[in-house]
């Protein structure tokens, strides 16, 4: 056998007897990329190669991909790319492809024939037993290759979703139809999702912006199933989290480091998609279903605007990635990015739900010396300790004193940073009272559940106090979520402790019960596969 060589010149694709289309008309850069084994490409080059291939007519793309697959096997075996094994592989692969794919495969069949192809390849390569499932981590069989084989004309998908038909009513798991993505949109196959109290706030809301029937959910992890036109930087197969907050990257706010509220696609609780206000969901009778925050993740498939999708490292466990989609990022971001808690600070957190505890986690990695947690639920005392809470206050157990008085005493004047993580105006006032004169900052994260106004004492604020608020912890989704993901992967940030329960989609109402009873932080809801 010949010994291994480096990347080689163009290999003639040869006249494979495929049913349709030209087989050797590849242009410039695509040809150059096609000659280089996909396994050796990294980052942008790989993405470019993938999208170049994806841009080809399907028949040609299939040819190229089969060649790439074959070359990857050869490279792994350190064989030259013109080795006869390659040619034999291609013939076998072609036979597999031709036999397993109907002329116009529906979306469902593609994954099957791709998996068949890959497992066949694996057995041929003898580097794994023939029954070993193909995992994305195998270096020469990248999951990314699947993206080059996306269907060019996605069709509506029938799938299951948890629909809420009336305010405060249990969700019903029904069959829905999810339209293909329009321009600037992606259709995402949701792998798992979780319940956040903001879902609950609008689930309970009888009047606008509460609307029904609606598919809730905005914290999730998924895989891109198809992309609409004009979508750059994403392809089928990408691991992504959808976010309720947009980042267009073009407007004054997106371009400024001082703001994270995109002014081109402003956050609002709308019934439809952000660009055209229409829906992509219909129920089994064909009636429209409303979106929630442009995410609607309580569905096996959903359609999300490209400004609301963030690519994440596939090495992240899905339930963890899901947390970064809202709750964990909001809390950690608020401490790290918005308040910029410095080492030695004192921090008070009102509401030890997932967001409040994420603030504690963020304050911990920022080096806060005192993290005071306030919650009516005594069980949060023990739980809080796992998240770095150093002092616990249950307002019901204070007797005559107010929370503000106790915290001012504990911190010798007031906490440097006070976070409200519930959504109640009275707590926002308590948080303000607990902050230190001179430089104390009160940070509002909670969405006021009754729409009550925030009341700031007009003379007290003169003593150097500040009140600020943010959506999503001041975080810019597309650049900051990957940063938090990295902090998790290098074990700087601990997120696994947020997941306290898991259920399947059919038991999604259990997730609501657990949250409302204060028994859970985050309950992962797995989509059936």
CB of residue 355 to another protein, shortest distance in Å: 13
**Nearer Cβ to another protein (203/387):** 203
CB of residue 431 to another protein, shortest distance in Å: 12
Question: In whole angstroms, how far apart are CA 477 and each of 34, 255, 312, 363, 488?
Answer: 33, 13, 11, 20, 16
**Nearer Cβ to another protein (171/428):** 428
Peptide bond into 209 cis (omega under 30): yes
CB of residue 20 to another protein, shortest distance in Å: 52
384's CB contacts (< 8 A; 6+ apart) are 352, 357, 360, 373, 375, 392
CB of residue 216 to another protein, shortest distance in Å: 19
CB of residue 443 to another protein, shortest distance in Å: 9
CB 224 within 8 A of CB 235: yes
CB of residue 194 to another protein, shortest distance in Å: 21
Q: Show the tokens assigned to 363.
A: 């304050």
**Nearer Cβ to another protein (46/260):** 260
**Nearer Cβ to another protein (8/439):** 439
CB 216 within 8 A of CB 205: no
**Nearer Cβ to another protein (183/252):** 252
CB 346 within 8 A of CB 441: no
**Nearer Cβ to another protein (387/472):** 472
Q: Show the tokens assigned to 3.
A: 């010994």
**Nearer Cβ to another protein (226/433):** 433
CB of residue 428 to another protein, shortest distance in Å: 7
Question: In whole angstroms, how far apart are CA 458 and each of 303, 405, 433?
Answer: 45, 19, 12
Q: How far is CA 59 from the centre of its chain?
A: 32
Q: How many angstroms separate the CA atoms of 122 and 237, rounded?
A: 20
DSSP code of 492? S
CB of residue 331 to another protein, shortest distance in Å: 14
Q: Show the tokens assigned to 218.
A: 């905005």
**Nearer Cβ to another protein (103/459):** 459
DSSP 329-343: HHHHHIIIIII-PPT
**Nearer Cβ to another protein (119/434):** 434
Residue 203, phi then psi, degrees to nearest 5: -65, -35
How many residues in the chain?
A: 529
Q: Show the tokens assigned to 164.
A: 């809420």
Classified as helix, coil or strand, 326 is coil
CB 245 within 8 A of CB 320: no
147's CB contacts (< 8 A; 6+ apart) are 50, 54, 224, 235, 236, 237, 238
CB of residue 429 to another protein, shortest distance in Å: 8
- Residues at the contact surface with another protein, assessed by CB under 8 A: 252-253, 256, 258-261, 263, 267, 413, 425, 428, 437-439, 444-445, 447-448, 451-471, 474
**Nearer Cβ to another protein (183/466):** 466
CB of residue 471 to another protein, shortest distance in Å: 5
Closest CA to 526 of 300, 232, 239, 213: 300
Cross-strand pairs, 369 = none
Cross-strand pairs, 192 = 221, 526
CB of residue 407 to another protein, shortest distance in Å: 16
CB of residue 10 to another protein, shortest distance in Å: 51
Element (H, E) at 418: strand 417-420
Question: In whole angstroms, how far apart are CA 2 and each of 14, 90, 126, 196?
Answer: 22, 19, 18, 59
CB of residue 456 to another protein, shortest distance in Å: 4
- In terms of Cβ atoms closer than 10 Å to its own Cβ (0-12, 13-18, 19+), residue 167 is middle
**Nearer Cβ to another protein (130/402):** 402
**Nearer Cβ to another protein (213/414):** 414
CB 69 within 8 A of CB 93: yes
**Nearer Cβ to another protein (448/507):** 448
């Amino acid at each position: 056998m010949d010994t291994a060589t480096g990347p080689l010149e163009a290999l003639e694709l040869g006249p494979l007897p495929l049913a349709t289309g030209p087989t050797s008309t590849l242009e410039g850069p695509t040809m150059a990329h096609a000659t280089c084994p996909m396994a050796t490409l990294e980052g942008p080059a790989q993405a470019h190669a993938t999208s170049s291939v994806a841009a080809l007519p399907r028949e040609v793309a299939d040819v190229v991909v089969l060649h790439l697959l074959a070359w990857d096997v050869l490279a792994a075996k350190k064989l030259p790319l013109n080795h006869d094994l390659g040619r034999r592989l291609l013939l076998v692969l072609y036979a597999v492809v031709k036999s397993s794919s109907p002329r116009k495969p529906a979306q469902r069949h593609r994954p099957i024939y791709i998996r068949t192809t890959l497992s066949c390849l694996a057995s041929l390569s003898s580097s794994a037993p023939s029954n070993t499932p193909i995992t994305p981590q195998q270096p020469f069989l990248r999951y990314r290759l699947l993206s080059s084989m996306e269907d060019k004309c996605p069709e509506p998908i029938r799938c299951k979703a948890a629909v809420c038909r009336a305010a405060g009513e249990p969700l019903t798991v029904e069959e829905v139809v999810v339209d293909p993505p329009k321009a600037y949109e992606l259709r995402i196959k949701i792998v798992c999702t979780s319940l956040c109290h903001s879902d609950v706030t609008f689930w309970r809301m009888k009047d606008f912006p509460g609307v029904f029937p609606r598919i809730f959910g905005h914290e999730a992890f998924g895989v891109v199933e198809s992309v609409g036109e004009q979508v750059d930087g994403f392809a089928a197969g990408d691991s992504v989290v959808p976010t309720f907050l947009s980042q267009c990257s073009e407007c004054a706010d997106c371009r400024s480091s001082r703001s994270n509220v995109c002014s081109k696609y402003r956050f609002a609780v709308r019934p439809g998609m952000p660009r055209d206000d229409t829906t992509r969901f219909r129920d089994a009778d064909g009636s429209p279903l409303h979106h929630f925050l442009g995410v609607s993740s309580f569905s096996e498939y959903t359609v999300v605007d490209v400004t609301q999708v963030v690519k994440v490292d596939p090495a992240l466990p899905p339930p963890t990635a899901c947390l970064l989609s809202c709750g964990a990022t909001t809390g950690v971001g608020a401490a790290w990015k918005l308040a910029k808690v410095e080492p030695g600070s004192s921090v008070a957190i009102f509401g030890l739900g997932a967001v409040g505890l994420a603030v504690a986690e963020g304050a911990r990695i920022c080096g806060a010396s005192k993290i005071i947690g306030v919650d009516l639920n005594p069980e949060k005392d023990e739980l809080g300790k796992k998240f770095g809470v150093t002092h616990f206050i249950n307002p019901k157990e204070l007797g005559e004193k107010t929370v503000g008085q106790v915290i001012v005493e504990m911190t010798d004047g007031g906490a440097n940073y006070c976070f409200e993580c519930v959504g109640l105006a009275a707590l926002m006032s308590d948080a303000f009272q607990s902050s230190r004169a001179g430089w104390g900052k009160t940070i509002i994260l909670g969405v006021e559940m009754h729409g009550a106004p925030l009341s700031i004492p007009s003379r007290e604020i003169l003593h150097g106090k500040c009140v600020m608020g943010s959506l999503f912890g001041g975080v810019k989704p597309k650049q900051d979520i990957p940063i938090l993901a990295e902090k998790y992967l290098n074990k700087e940030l601990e997120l696994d402790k947020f997941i306290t329960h898991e259920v399947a989609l059919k038991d999604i109402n259990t997730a609501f019960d657990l949250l409302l009873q204060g028994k859970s932080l985050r309950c992962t809801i797995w989509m059936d596969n």
